[in-house]
Each structure stands twice: as C-alpha cells, then as structure tokens.
Structure 1
Amino acid sequence: MDPFSSSSSIGSSSKISPDDLMDQLKTQLAQAYAEEFLETVRGKCFEKCITKPGSSLSGSEGSCISRCVERYMEATGIVSRALFNQSR
C-alpha cells in the first residue's frame, strides 16, 4: 500500500479551514513584505549613508542611517494608509 492511498485520518485532519488558510497567507505575505522592505532600506540607506565602509559606523553615518530608515518607514506608512483607504 502506497502512502497516498492510505485510509488513515491524515486526509481528514490535514484539511485547512478557509480562515486558517487566509491567516497563513496573510502571515506569509507580511513576512515577504518585511523582507523586501528591509532589503530596500538596507540597500538604499547603505548606499546613501556609508561612504567609506569600515569596521564601525561613524556618528554621522549612524545618524544618517537612522534618519533614512525613519523616512522609509514613514513613507511606507503613508502609502499603505492611502492604498487601504482607496480599497474601502
């Protein structure tokens, strides 16, 4: 008997409710969005703020990165709210 034709309770217990599936999809989308956001911020802010890579950040580089990340987060929030309000 192959594992796919088994009549065990796996078939009935492996069914996912639509709500659970939606929750899983939302979680995966949020994770993908967060990863993309971090990659974008990392690339853009590093390129803008780090002029001479070294073993540590200078004070001005650290401040630049902080401001850069804050701006990206603020801009992302504004865009997200605008898109959310349009979809209503």
Structure 2
Amino acid sequence: MAPNQHDLERIRQQIVLANIQELIQKMTRRCFDVCIAMPGLELRSTEHDCLANCMDRFMDSVQVVSCQYFRRRRRHQQIRLARSSASIASPPATASIPKSTSIPKSPATSASEHAPSASNEEKVK
C-alpha cells in the first residue's frame, strides 16, 4: 500500500473511532439523564434495568437511522450513475448527422453558429 493510502486508511480509522466515542458519550448522557434520578454510590436494580433498556433502544435507533441513510445514499448514487450512463449512451441529435453531409453556409451565417457547442462536445465524450 502506498504511503498516501496508508495515511488515508489511518485517517478513516480515526474518524470511525471518533464517531464511536461520540455515540457512546451521547448514549451515556441521554440514558443517565433519563434513568438516574438521584445518583448514589450504587445503581438500584430499576436504574440498572432502565440503563440497559435505554442503551439497547439507543443502539437500535442508531442502527435503523444508519441503515436508512446508507440505503438512500446508495439509491441516489445509482440514480446518478444511471443518468450519466444514459447521457453517454444517447448522444445529442447533432451528433447523428453523417460526416459526409455538409451544412451550407450563407454569407449572413458565421462559422461559429455551425460549430457544436461545448456542452454538446462534452456529452459526446
């Protein structure tokens, strides 16, 4: 792996770690606020059960949101890919003129009016 790839992978891992730490902090803060009314030296069984349930529901919620996010992201990427493939597969109408056919020029028409526009050239590529 090239050094640049190694650096990118390390950065990705650090981002994942930071996201996990943030998730744990949010879950801890939220569940503590909901389940612990009066902090003491030990957790009561009701607080323990509440915390376990709260953390499970929090993680379930994160999983549902993440799955939905990635599903939508994948769908949007597929739509973009289909659109770009369609534009490449169907060239503009001006590209279908046979090369042997010449367009007659009148004295009032400049050569630039018959030249394909930049956007048409890009679509053909």
What TM-score, normalized to structure 2?
0.55
Letter of the structure 1 residue corresponding to residue 58 of structure 2 = Y
What TM-score, normalized to structure 1?
0.76
Which stretch has the larger CA shift, 22-31 or 62-71?
Answer: 22-31
Letter of the structure 2 residue corresponding to residue 21 of structure 1 = D
2:30 is aligned, of 38, 44, 47, to: 44
2:4 is aligned, of 6, 14, 17, to: 17
Stretches (4+) displaced over 3 A: none
Which one scores higher on RCO, CA 8 angstroms, separation ≥ 6? 1
Q: Distance in 1 between matches of 2:42 and 2:8?
A: 43
Higher-Rg structure is 2
Instruction: For structure 1, list consecutive stretches of 5 or more residues without a partner in the other structure.
Output: 1-14
Cα RMSD, aligned residues only: 1.3
> How far off is 1:85 after superposition?
1.0
> How far off is 1:72 after superposition?
0.7
SS at match of 2:3: coil
- Aligned position for 1:66: 52
Percent identity (aligned) = 26
Q: Distance in 1 between matches of 2:13 and 2:64?
A: 21
Q: Distance in 2 between matches of 1:87 and 1:24?
A: 24
